[in-house]
Structure 1
Amino acid sequence: MYGHTYRTSQMEELTTFLTSIGEEVEDAEEECFLLFAQDIPSANLGFVDSRATSVDVTIHGQDYTIHQSPTLLSSSRAGGTTGAVLWKITPLFAEWITNHQSNPLWQHSVLSTSSAVIELGCGISGLIALALSPSITHYIATDQEYVHRLLRENLDANTRTPKHAPRSKGNAKKPSKHGSKTAKSGPQPKVTFTSLDWETDDPAVLKDSIPGGSGADDGDKGFDVLLSCDCIYNEALVAPLVRTCADVCRLRPVYNPERELGDDGKMPTVCVIAQQQRSPDVFEAWLRETLRLFRVWRVSDEVLGGKLASGSGYLVHVLLLRQMDS
């Protein structure tokens, strides 16, 4: 009886979360017109400083030094080089998603100390992983293999003794079974990098990359939250990115507010997609493709705060995989 009640309350919590974040998006063309009709500040391409070999960033009073590669950025490497430097939206998004007091992801236990998170297109900085990983159980950062060396350098150089993780309603009486492994001081293997090709790789094996194989020892191949920050800038990437998001989400149950969770008690994967406003055509192409497979909510200004709100030139949407007719 307790298990039934707990699973029902989890689904109700998720429904409340969705109600709290903003309006559901129904039409790609209408959403695109609404967002791009407003004045958008010029941010060039969106680099913090594409010529610097290192960039200093502060998030919630914590200082980070991010090493980057202007040389790699300007190279003619096949497959792209945009992950070689830090982008302006990344520190803002990292600060927002780690605000445990006001962010509804934490308030409604979508994120908790027992969460497993995957990031698509992490780039070399590892900044979101650095800021978020001390508060959760597992963080898998994915991108093309070329970012690996600098990413590891940044993770190693900026890892500090983790502070006490926040307590949220969803885990106050239900600590993570892995908690004893992640509470030690000093650098921890809580951030795992694995290369992920959006065209060919299978997300079902991603948790196998976690050291010790502890990521899926309960049989769960899925993730609580999927993050993607500033990966939507090229129309050719739209279909592979959306398809990869959907493949990750299929590792968990689909959201259905009229039905309680399955016997395994797993919540649907919540996707949080942040991006800079650049091309309306690329944005509309992404949203049109996304709406075929996902329900979409645009996070409201009240939830985002000033740095990511309307007029900032940045957008954050939340996605949940649709219940498709069989």
Structure 2
Amino acid sequence: MTEIASRSSSPDRAVPKCPNGLFNFPLDSVIVTDPDEEILELYMNLASTSPEIGPHQTDSGGLGFLDSTSSTLDLSLDLTPETGSGSSEAISGKTSTDVPIGHGRRGKNKNSRKVEDKSVDSVEVRIQQDIGMLKGRGGDTGSVLWRSSLHLARLILSQHHHRPPQSPTIINPEFFKKANILELGAGTGLLAILLAPICASYTASDRMENLKLVKRNLELNGLGAAGHTVLPDDSLHRKEKEKKAAKSNGETRLDVRLEEIDWIAVSEETKRQHGRGQSHHAHDGEEELVYDLVLAVDCIYNEHLVRPLVDTLARYCPVGGKTVVWVVVELRSADVLTTFLEAWTSDPSDPWTIVRLGEKGMGRWDGKRARWVGWVAWR
């Protein structure tokens, strides 16, 4: 283990600065070039605290759902800064199948409590899940909430509201508030709900079935949905009425842009363009938004979607541009992650610079070593 860590941190593989300044790479971050070496190190580290997980074993605890049995989740995230080697309980909540639909709560809790004489912000959110879609469509995993999304939201919001006094935040808050963000595989829309208020613009993408669920959850938590792909014919008129009503009440309604992105369709189009020696270009009348960050959280679980995902990352991360991608995944099946890293590091469209964020920067899960990995990359 020591030998592997030494090779990964060797001077000839020094981690460069983030090209758009969005990330501050922790000192224990490393460049990733060898998929087998990366996977071996990750799972040997994990096995030191979770002996049942090895390099070629699968987590018996499931895919990574928070709760795949309840149709509604009421969640409260205490944004308590981590201290030392542990952290306070970061996430609490109750699940219910009969909670009435209404406006969720977002932002600072009016009843902020004191912990060690420091004010602790909390964020409350209500998330609907589509249990029927999960069971009826044979693994439509985007219809329920995943643990890693919740932990990532807590990490970003905690550092946003409570900046570490002696070390930089993993994300530069001044850059983040100006960032245009695209999330691939938005699922239930939790990250869109919690992160949209602290960045310049947020686009949540998924297949059409899941975008309808995202739209419901946005509205449940007081946010609007922009984009023609999921709005009914009369929605524009209704949205204008809602905006006028909000304006008359002195309120500003925050919209999240929804976009249908089918990775398989993107991959097939990429193959056709490569066959013709072409690169992607916007269609006539298509508004081409350049993103600062492309976020993919727990999108790696099916080996048949690995190539389409890599092609989609490349589609929205132009060569030599300012865009970076952030791939976050809970460590479960090492075989699928190995397949992904092999495809990513050997992407024929153009070489990637891939940085694994250090464990110190990615934080811990409820005081324990985190079960995830975060890779930041650009071309």
Q: TM-score, normalised by structure 2?
A: 0.62
> How far off is 1:187 after superposition?
2.7
> How far off is 1:127 after superposition?
0.9
Partner of 2:145: 86
Partner of 1:63: 124
Partner of 1:47: 65
Q: Does the 8 A contact of 2:23 with 2:170 survive in 1? A: no
> How far off is 1:304 after superposition?
1.3
Separation of aligned partners in 2, 1:308 and 1:318: 23
> How far off is 1:228 after superposition?
0.5
| Residue identity opposite 1:138 in structure 2 | S
Separation of aligned partners in 1, 2:22 and 2:182: 22
What's the % identity of the aligned pairs? 26
Match runs of 1:1-326 below 5 Å: 14=21, 17-18=24-25, 22-37=29-44, 38-39=46-47, 40=50, 43-59=61-77, 60=79, 61-76=122-137, 80-98=139-157, 99-100=159-160, 101-102=163-164, 103-107=169-173, 109=174, 111-123=175-187, 125-159=188-222, 185-189=251-255, 191-201=256-266, 221-250=289-318, 254=320, 268-292=322-346, 293-307=351-365, 311-321=369-379
Q: Does the 8 A contact of 1:21 with 1:297 survive in 2? A: no
Q: Does the 8 A contact of 2:182 with 2:291 survive in 1? A: yes
> How far off is 1:200 after superposition?
2.0
Q: Does the 8 A contact of 1:272 with 1:317 survive in 2? A: yes
Aligned residues: 261
3-state secondary structure, aligned to 2:21:
helix
5+ long unaligned stretches in structure 2: 1-16, 54-58, 80-121, 225-246, 270-279
Larger radius of gyration: 2
Q: Does the 8 A contact of 1:277 with 1:315 survive in 2? A: yes
Partner of 1:263: none
3-state secondary structure, aligned to 2:307:
helix
Counterparts in 2 of 1:222 and 1:130: CA distance versus 1, 3 Å: same
Separation of aligned partners in 2, 1:89 and 1:286: 18
Q: Does the 8 A contact of 2:263 with 2:312 survive in 1? A: yes
5+ long unaligned stretches in structure 1: 1-9, 162-182, 210-215, 255-266, 322-326
Q: Does the 8 A contact of 1:92 with 1:307 survive in 2? A: yes
Q: Does the 8 A contact of 2:28 with 2:359 survive in 1? A: no
Separation of aligned partners in 1, 2:337 and 2:24: 25
Q: TM-score, normalised by structure 1?
A: 0.72
